[in-house]
Amino acid sequence: MSYHCYFENEFHPLDTPLLKTNDLGLLRGFGLFDYLRTYNGVPFRFAEYWSRFSGSAASLGIEVPLDKEAVYELLGELYRLSGEADVAFRLLLTGGYAEDGLTVTQPNFIIRSEPLPKDNPAGRKTGIKVIPYEYVRDLPYVKTTGYVHMMKMSAELRNQMASDLLFHKDGLVSELTRSNIFIVRGDSLITPGKDALRGITRKLVMEKAAGKLEVQERDVSLDELLSADEVFTTSSTKGVMPIVQVGDKLIGSGAPGRATVALQLLVDGEFARYGK
């Protein structure tokens, strides 16, 4: 029992050399992906992840060679092969092999089962530090494989004992490298409406907050974020993660705020119940 990779109609152990070196994802960054996990052995909100994945593919003009039902079955098979209680899945679609390093003929579609990432339980309790970084993604609604800024800054993040970058451009914040951003001001919960990936956990948080807080999807300036009562980030693997420091500036008292902790509990509850 172990993690596997699905490619070209077969399952392979995860560390099998599979790709030729003229894949357009590798040579030209022409690739997109999505990433989800199981709770209680069931892929969390698969329909929503599939919809986003298909949307990314349509945006880049790459055809997905399998349909939703076929992929769901493959996830089940990968889950069984893993022998684990819960796993993560990575769906990866590239422009495929190109003789000339340019021309798309047939996409490469890979599905990997992976160990669940360490979810930084300490960070979820005490909050994390992020660093402001001037940048906005070119294609913010598409989950491309373009993470060169994050990778380039990884040593600097370690030096500054920070967990992630906070992207901002022309005064407005958009997202972190792999997660969405929320601020709390009084009774309002606010998240940027543009230039940010449509996170599944972002949507879940907005569902859970409805009726308790006034949920706003609108522009958020870096200044407004720095003076917010609370700040947190959301992702499929982090859930609700408090942000207590941005660069040198503490957010609020420098500890996770009340709304953040309440939403974290609600979201964790949703995860814990899922599939049961």
20-52 core/surface letters (b: 16 or more CB in 10 A; e: else): eeebbbbeeebbbbbbbbbbeeebbbbebbbeb
In which element (H, E) is residue 204 found? helix 200-209
Could you tell me how many residues of this chain bind a second copy (CB under 8 A)? 52
Rounded-to-integer distance, Cα 161 and Cα 69, Å: 43
Q: Is 135 in the site for a second copy (CB under 8 A)?
A: yes
Rounded-to-integer distance, Cα 117 and Cα 238, Å: 9
Contact by Cβ (8 Å): 249, 223: no
Q: Dig out the tokens for 243 from the structure.
A: 């942000």
Shortest distance (Å) from residue 189 CB to a second copy: 29
Amino acid (one-letter) located at 192: P
Residue from 57, 60, 173, 241 that binds a second copy (CB under 8 A)?
60
Rounded-to-integer distance, Cα 83 and Cα 112, Å: 14
Shortest distance (Å) from residue 47 CB to a second copy: 24
- Quick one: 162 or 190, whose CB is closer to a second copy? 162
- Quick one: 10 or 223, whose CB is closer to a second copy? 10
User: Could you tell me where the beta strands, DSSP code E, fall in 83-219?
Assistant: 88-94, 108-114, 128-134, 164-169, 172-176, 180-185, 188-191, 214-217
- Quick one: 27 or 255, whose CB is closer to a second copy? 27
Q: For the segment 10-49, give every residue that binds a second copy (CB under 8 A).
A: 14-31, 33
Look at residues 213, 203, 256 and name the one whose alpha carbon lies nearest to residue 231.
256
Rounded-to-integer distance, Cα 130 and Cα 251, Å: 11
Q: Is 146 in the site for a second copy (CB under 8 A)?
A: yes
- Quick one: 90 or 203, whose CB is closer to a second copy? 90
Look at residues 120, 32, 121, 46 and name the one whose alpha carbon lies nearest to residue 79.
46
- For the chain, the first-to-last Cα distance in angstroms comes to 24
- Quick one: 145 or 216, whose CB is closer to a second copy? 145
222-234 core/surface letters (b: 16 or more CB in 10 A; e: else): beebbebbbbbbb
Residue range at the interface with a second copy (CB under 8 A); choices 124-132, 139-147, 203-211, 253-261: 139-147
Shortest distance (Å) from residue 70 CB to a second copy: 19
Give the x-and-dash track for 115-134 against a second copy (CB under 8 A): --x-----------------
Give the x-and-dash track for 78-107 against a second copy (CB under 8 A): ------------x-x-xx-x--xxxxx---
Give the x-and-dash track for 176-215 against a second copy (CB under 8 A): ----------------------------------------
- Quick one: 122 or 155, whose CB is closer to a second copy? 155
Contact by Cβ (8 Å): 166, 135: no
Shortest distance (Å) from residue 230 CB to a second copy: 27
Residue range at the interface with a second copy (CB under 8 A); choices 41-49, 50-58, 135-143, 212-220: 135-143
For a second copy, the binding residues (CB under 8 A) are 5, 7, 14-31, 33, 59-61, 90, 92, 94-95, 97, 100-104, 110, 112, 114, 117, 135, 138-139, 144-152, 154-155
